[in-house]
Amino acid sequence: MSNHFPVNRELFDDVMVPNYSPSAVIPVRGLGSRVWDQQDREFIDFAGGIAVNCLGHCHPALVGALTEQANKIWHLSNVMTNEPALRLAKKLTDSTFADKVYFANSGAEANEGALKLARRWALENFGAEKSQIIAFKQGFHGRTFFTVTVGGQAAYSDGFGPKPGDIVHAEYNNLESVKALISDKTCAVVMEPLQGEGGIISPTDEFAKGVRELCNQHNALLVFDEVQTGVGRLGELYAYMGLGVTPDILTTAKALGGGFPIGAMITTTDIAKHLKVGTHGSTYGGNPLACAVAEAAFDTVNTPEVLNGVKAKAKLYVAGLNAINAKYNVFSEIRGKGLLIGAVLTDAYQGRAKEFLNAAMDEGVMTLVAGANIIRFAPSLVIPDEDIAEGLARFEKAVAKLAK
Encode pLDDT of 298-308 as tens digits: 999 999 999 99
Residue 107 annotated as binding site: yes
Is 254 a known active-site residue? yes
pLDDT surpasses 90 at 2: no
Residue 300's pLDDT is: 98
- CATH class of residue range 72-301: alpha beta
Residue of 136, 140, 224, 260 marked active site: 140
Residue 89 annotated as binding site: no
Residue of 207, 224, 248, 254 marked active site: 254
pTM, two decimals, is: 0.97
Residue 75's pLDDT is: 97
Residue 404's pLDDT is: 78
Residue 38 annotated as binding site: no
C-alpha to C-alpha distances, 148 to 107, 151, 189, 202, 310, nearest whole angstrom = 12, 5, 15, 21, 30
pLDDT surpasses 90 at 92: yes
pLDDT surpasses 80 at 1: no
Residue 13's pLDDT is: 94
Reported confidence tier of residue 154, pLDDT bands at 50, 70, 90: very high
Is 145 a known active-site residue? no
Residue of 46, 130, 224, 225 marked active site: 225
Residue 103 annotated as binding site: no
Encode pLDDT of 353-396 as tens digits: 999 999 999 999 999 999 999 999 999 999 999 999 999 999 99
**Percent of the chain, pLDDT > 90?**
99
Q: Taking the CB of residue 337, how many other CB atoms lie within 10 A of it?
A: 20
pLDDT surpasses 80 at 3: no
What are the φ and ψ backbone dihedral angles of 124, each rounded to 5 degrees? Answer: -75, -25
pLDDT surpasses 80 at 194: yes
Domain ranges of the chain: 9-58+304-403, 72-301
pLDDT surpasses 90 at 63: yes
Is 158 a known active-site residue? no
Query: How high does pLDDT run on average in the chain?
Result: 97
Tell me how far apart the alpha carbons of residues 210 and 245 are, in angstroms, rounded to a whole number: 10
Can you tell me the mean pLDDT for 252-261? 98
Residues 9-58+304-403: name the CATH superfamily. Aspartate Aminotransferase, domain 1 (3.90.1150.10)
Residue 283 annotated as binding site: yes
Q: What's the burial of 145, exposed, middle or buried (CB within 10 Å: 0-12/13-18/19+)?
A: middle
Helix extents (H) in 151-254:
154-157, 175-181, 205-217, 240-243
Helix extents (H) in 45-197:
48-51, 60-70, 83-95, 107-126, 145-150, 154-157, 175-181
Residue 391 annotated as binding site: no
